[in-house]
Amino acid sequence: MTRLPSFAERHFAAQVSEYDGLCHRVEEDESGWDFVVEFPIREFDGPAESQPSRSRAFVQVKSVRGSKTSVPITLSNLRKSAQDPNPWFLVLIKRHRGKPTLYIRHFWKGLIKSSLIAIRKAEGEGAKLNRRTKSILFSEDDIVTGDLIRWMQDCIDQPDDYLAEKRQFFTTVGYTQGAGTARLLFTEHTNDEIFKEFLGLGNGLKISNFEYVPERFSLPDYSRKISETGGTVYIKTQPRGACEVRFRSSPLEPAFSLAGTMYAVPFSRDAPVRVSAPPVELLFSPPQVTMDMTMKLAERLPLDHWLTYSQLKLWSMKGPLRVELWRDGRKLDASILADKQKGQNLDWDKLYSLSEAIAVITTDRKITDLSFSLGDVNANISDLGYLFQGRAPLLRFEFEANAPLKLGVTSFLHYSLAQLAGWTFGHLIRRTVLQDKIDGDRRTITAGPFKILETYAFRNASAEERSLIHDDYLRILAELEETEHPLGFGEFGTYVRQLNSLPQIPTKTRQ
C-alpha cells in the first residue's frame, strides 16, 4: 500500500490516543481499512465478568496536498464499508498553513446509499469494483477539532441499535419502487378472472410467457433476467388501506358499521374493489355489491361473527340492503339483495335470535373467547331453541278455563339452560302479565316483554353449577309470592315439552 505521509499518520494516531482511544494500524491493504480504533471503556457498575468489551470502529485515512478536499476510494472498499454492520469512518488529513487539519465523515446512510448506487452502475457496465473509484468530498462542516473520540462515539450512540439499523438499511435501501419489473402474458383468462386473482379471490393464473428483471435504485440488472414460458402465477394481494362499511336496512334505521380492509387492482379503475370486513367479504362492482361468508359445518367461528353475519343476512333477505363504503372522506353507494339459496340453507332468523341471546349472556358474564360451529348448534338445537324462544316479545299461555289456577296472575317466571361448545348458558326471566281473561271454556294469559333477572355461564358445568339456577328460581318465586300472584314455569323447555296445550310463542321474535 502507499504509506500515508508521516504527519497524517502521526496526527491521527495522536488525536485518538489524546482522548483515551487506542489506534491500531493495518499493514496490508486487504481489509479495506487503515486503522482500527478502540474506544475508552465506559463506567460499569455490574460484576467484573460482565464488563462489556470496548466498542470499536474501522477507519480509512486519506491525505491530500493542495486545495482540494475530495479523495477517491475504490468501490470494493466502499462495499465492505456498507455491508459491514460495524461503524466505519472516512478521515481526510491535509496541511493548512503548515498545520494538519482533520476532516471526518461517518459512513452512514447518505454515503451507504450513494456508494451502493455507484456499485450497481459499475456492475451493470461490467467494471471491476477494485478498479473503479468514487470521489468522496469533504467540506468545512466535516472539520473536527477537539475530542475526536467523543465525536465518533456520539455518531455510534445515536441509533438505538447501531448494528441492526445499519444492517437493515443496507439490505432494504433502493427497493422503494420494488425489487424488479415483471412482464406476464395471460392467454387463457378473462378480465374478471385476472381481477379476482389480484384481489386475492383466485386460484392462480396460467401464463404463456414470464420475464423478470431485478432492480435496485430503479436500475435494472439485465444480467440476471429470468425468462420462462408456461407456468402458474399466484398474486399476493396488497391492501390499499383501512375503510369502513356501513349497512342500512332502511333510511329510518341507524347504520350497522364494520371496520374493513380494502383491496384494489392497481392497473384498472374499472376492476371490482374487494373489502374484507370479517366475517363478511364484499365485492364492489358498481352499481352492484356481492356479500359472502365462507361457512363450514364443523368450523367454529367467534360469536360476534355469527351475530354480524346473521343480522346482515336477515336484512338482505327482506329487501335491498344499502351498503356504504367510506374511505378518505368519500362514499360509494350500492344496493345488494343476497340470494337466499346461496350457500347453506339456514334459518337465519333463528340463528340471529340465538346469537343475540348468547351475546347478552356472554357480555354480562364477561366472556370473550366463545366460538361455535353449526355442528355445535345442531347438537343441542332443542334446548338452544327454548333459550331464545323464551325471549319472545310476548308470551301467551292458553288452557282450559276450569283449571285450578285463580284469576289475576301478575307475572311469569321461568329459566332456560342450554349447552354450546363446552359451555352451559342460562338466564332467569320475569315477565309482567298484560292480560288474564276467560273466553268461553278457554282461559288466556298474555305476558309482555321480558326482563332478565340473572345470567349464567359455566365452562364444563358441574351438576352443582347447573342446579344453581333452579335454586335462584325457587328463591325469587317465593319472594314474588309474598306480594303478588306469579306463575312459575320452572325450566322453560321442560315445561313446554310436558304440556298438552303449549304456550303459543309468536313465530317472529325480531322485527
Asked if residue 109 belongs to a domain, the reply is yes
185 with 165, same domain?
no
Asked if residue 510 belongs to a domain, the reply is no
97 with 198, same domain?
no
CA distances from 507 to 27, 317, 382 (A): 94, 17, 16
Nearest to 32 by CA among 70, 69, 53, 1: 1
At 48, which CATH number? 3.40.1350
Asked if residue 36 belongs to a domain, the reply is yes
CA distance 415 to 259: 36
Asked if residue 358 belongs to a domain, the reply is no
CA distance 111 to 115: 6
**Residue 468 near residue 456, CB atoms below 8 Å:** yes
Asked if residue 69 belongs to a domain, the reply is yes
Q: How many independent structural domains does the chain possess?
A: 4
Cis peptide preceding 287, ω within 30 of 0: yes
Give the bridge partners for 89, in sequence order: 59, 106
Q: Which residue has the cell 465506559?
A: 42
Cite the DSSP H helix spans in 148-238. Answer: 148-157, 162-172, 191-198
pLDDT per residue, tens digit, the chain (511 aa), is 344 556 667 788 888 888 888 888 876 655 567 888 988 887 777 787 777 777 889 998 888 877 889 999 999 999 999 999 999 999 998 877 778 889 999 999 999 999 999 999 999 899 999 999 999 999 999 999 889 899 999 999 999 899 999 999 999 999 988 889 988 888 788 888 888 889 998 888 888 888 999 999 999 988 889 998 888 888 888 898 999 999 888 878 888 899 999 999 988 888 889 999 988 888 888 777 888 877 777 889 999 999 998 888 888 877 778 888 898 888 876 666 655 445 456 788 889 999 999 999 999 999 999 999 989 999 999 899 989 888 888 988 888 888 888 889 999 999 999 999 999 999 999 999 999 999 889 999 999 999 999 999 999 999 898 899 999 999 999 999 999 999 999 999 888 888 644 444 443 333 3
CA distance 230 to 209: 6
State the pTM of this model: 0.59
91 with 154, same domain?
yes
49 with 161, same domain?
yes
88 with 194, same domain?
no
* Position 43, amino acid: E
150 with 188, same domain?
no
**Which region, left, alpha or beta, applies to residue 116 given φ > 0 means left and ψ of -120 to 50 means alpha?**
alpha
21 with 148, same domain?
yes
CA distances from 102 to 33, 154, 230 (A): 17, 17, 61
184 with 333, same domain?
no
Parent domain of 217? 180-233
Give the bridge partners for 25, in sequence order: 35
47 with 89, same domain?
yes
How many C-beta atoms surround the C-beta of residue 33 within 10 A?
Answer: 24
228 with 247, same domain?
no
CA distances from 370 to 4, 290, 300, 306, 379 (A): 74, 28, 9, 11, 16
18 with 162, same domain?
yes
